[in-house]
Chain A
Amino acid sequence: MNSNKADYNTTWQKFVRSHAIYAWLLIVPAALFLFIIVGWPLAETVRLSFTNAGLGGEKYIGWDNFEKLYNSRKYPGIVGRTFYWMFLSVSLKMILGTIGALLLNAKLKGRAAFRVMVMPPWIVPMAIGCIGWLWVYNGHFGILAGVLMHLGILDGPFEFLAYKTSAFYSTIVTDVWVGTPMVTIFFLAAMQGVSQDLYEAAYVDGASRWYRFRRITIPQIMPVIVSMALLSAIWTFNSFEIIWILTEGGPRGATTTMIIDTYKMAIANYKFGYGATRALMVVLFLTVFSLIYLFILGKVHQRFKVK
């Protein structure tokens, strides 16, 4: 019995090891997993986008959904808003992240404590953070309106999330609040990786603080800035929870970005087919971003080659 098993093992192992099938077998678990959580839903989305799937069943309707989307008068506005929202949010995250990292990199007593103190927005579950912000933006009880009224800037309660413009910028502020700590920490790590000798050499040569920042710090951390900017753009483009919790895309669509719009169409209005078409547009944009990201990253690594 034992010897039989051993024989079996040897033949089987011999067969498997001698073929490429061995390599394939090894990646099967991961591949299966990826197929279930990525591959199949994606294929399903593509299939759905060619149907009029809804609560009452589905039927193949060819390119109708795409035509409808192309002719939609609202959709270009949504795309434009998404990009504007993303642009403002990412820019602010980058600028604040750089300033934050510079401050945290300063040689201060107790800087470790400061470093911990920037983390909460990132660590607190996003929903809880956003509910906190709902209170901040509340017109009657919120701290923001309260402070502004005390300062005499507002002469009465102001619901920040009730007006188109203020709601739009309020969601950006919250998104920046959530996204900045991570950018800060990444930039800080990059700054700490810059050799102190470079700064000392520049100091000896008479370079001012600003000059050293501009000609040493920035180029040295450029690869990190670029990757963070592009990754942050992708995440911000896809940011759903913050807007949904704060405004659900309102008022009157003022904060409806592509991802919110997709959700509203597919889940809230039960138009699964048409929603899938919109989801595909998101996939398309993100794919383009990713390609740009990879391309630029390659370039940057070439240009700012660090050793």
Chain B
Amino acid sequence: MATVSLKSINKWFDTSQVLNDISLDIEDKEFVVFVGPSGCGKTTLLRIVAGLEEATTGEIEIDGIEVSSAHPIERGISMVFQSYALYPHLTVFENIAFPLRVAKMPKTELEEQVMRAAETLQLTDRLQHKPGQLSGGQRQRVAIGRSIVRQPKVFLFDEPLSNLDAALRGEMRVELAKLHKSLDATMIYVTHDQVEAMTLADRIVVISEGRLEQFGTPMELYHRPKTKFVAGFIGNPKMNFLKVPCLSSNSSGVTLKLPDIGEQLLPVEADTVEEGGNLEVGIRPEDFSLSDTDKGMPMKVEVVEHLGGSTMVYGSVADHLNFCALLPGDTEVSDDSVVKLEVNPASMHVFNSNGDAMRRREIPAMHR
């Protein structure tokens, strides 16, 4: 159906820059998720793609055609809003039919289209209801119905699940994934929830403070985050960071001094590192395991959460607070004890003082 490409998009609101030189190419039928903390500019970027805002500088192409100042209709997009933006005075039928009425579609064809959308979204028995009489999930589906009847080239979703409760959100997530498969369309989806991003996306765009941090598949982002921000944002529970001194670096990696473990060679591409300086090591909670021997990082346990299948242990390592380790469910750890944690050196991430990651030489097999 359609490719979307953004070329050096900049956006200023008065004197503050909310988007800084964003360029990316979205492929046909791809599901791309813009993710980032609130206020990072992801929704503004989506609205620029939609044509609700204009970029201060930069160009947008849809299907190779420059559309930077075109009307949303000419761009062939449709949008689902965070608030759903359903018309409260119209029935579900009329809400879904709205874009078709605007386009003055003949009555029989219009009814057919609306019915088809209603069937896809299981709304056929709700067509004569007003939005006020529907549950949150149903309203969500009506909003999606309204966006699919027009058969746009690109679907835009602005945090569509954020008003739903957790259980429903999970359900709708699966439905959206199915919808993407059945519609076979290009979709751009904005969320602040990295779980939604990881589960739905073909590729994820991580944005922070108006900058594109990284654009890649969920697994790329997870295994090879380019910056400390991406590393901390993607993955749940969050990655732990440790500031440690760098002892030496050479072609096989950097040698760092880890608490209690001592000298440790981490296999990363470290040509640019200066010796003697501090580096940051990132360790995902799931990469920890309990040491059988006396060796390992000592963690002073503060809270233990037994989740059944796994156990989350929170505590401090050296003088770093809020460390988290995800251990097997049968782990027996008591509060206020000290445990020794082991990590495979290859699964550690290293960041320089700018927050940029050093590329890891290998991605170790997950041990769970």
Contact = CB atoms under 8 A, between A and B. Distances in A.
Contact of A206 (B90, B103, B131): B103
Given A204-B50, A205-B99, A197 B83 contact: yes
A59 to B, nearest CB: 59
A198 to B, nearest CB: 5
B71 A206 contact: yes
Interface string B84-99: 0101111000000011
Q: Determine the main DSSP class of A at the interface with B.
A: helix
A201 B85 contact: yes
Contacts of B102: 202, 205-207, 211
A276 to B, nearest CB: 46
A269 interface: no
Contacts of A5: none
Contacts of A304: 89
Interface stretch (B74-82, B266-274, B279-287, B349-357): B74-82
Given A200-B52, A205-B99, A205-B102, A306 B88 contact: yes
Nearest to A303: B89
A201 B52 CA distance: 10
Given A219-B89, A305-B130, A306-B88, A201 B73 contact: no
A4 B78 CA distance: 80
A81 B145 CA distance: 53
Contacts of B235: none
A305 B85 contact: no
Contact of B81 (A201, A207, A306): A201
A307 interface: yes
Interface in B105-154: 130-132, 146, 150
A204 B89 contact: no
B51 interface: yes
A204 B51 contact: yes
Interface in A186-228: 195, 197-198, 200-207, 211, 215-216, 219-220, 222
A68 to B, nearest CB: 50
Contacts of A197: 81-83, 85
Contacts of B37: none
A201 B72 contact: no
A176 to B, nearest CB: 29
Nearest to B133: A305
Interface residues of B, number: 26
Contacts of A201: 79, 81, 85, 146
Q: What class of interface size applies to chain A in its complex with B?
A: 20 to 34
Nearest to A196: B85
Contacts of B103: 206
B24 to A, nearest CB: 22
B138 to A, nearest CB: 14
Contacts of A220: 88-89
A246 B50 CA distance: 57
Nearest to A220: B89
A197 to B, nearest CB: 4
Given A195-B83, A305-B130, A305-B132, A202 B89 contact: no
A304 to B, nearest CB: 5
A307 B88 contact: yes
Interface in B19-70: 50-52
B126 to A, nearest CB: 16
B81 A205 contact: no
Contact of B78 (A195, A202, A204, A307): A204
Given A203-B72, A204-B50, A206-B71, A306 B89 contact: yes
A278 B132 CA distance: 48
Given A200-B81, A204-B78, A207-B98, 8 more contacts: A197-B85, A201-B85, A204-B50, A204-B51, A205-B78, A205-B98, A211-B102, A303-B89
Interface of A: 195, 197-198, 200-207, 211, 215-216, 219-220, 222, 303-307
Interface of B: 50-52, 71-73, 77-79, 81-83, 85, 87-90, 98-99, 102-103, 130-132, 146, 150
26 contacts: A195-B83, A197-B81, A198-B85, A200-B52, A201-B79, A201-B85, A202-B102, A203-B72, A204-B51, A204-B52, A204-B72, A204-B78, A205-B78, A205-B150, A206-B72, A206-B73, A206-B99, A215-B98, A216-B87, A220-B89, A303-B89, A305-B88, A305-B130, A306-B88, A307-B88, A307-B132
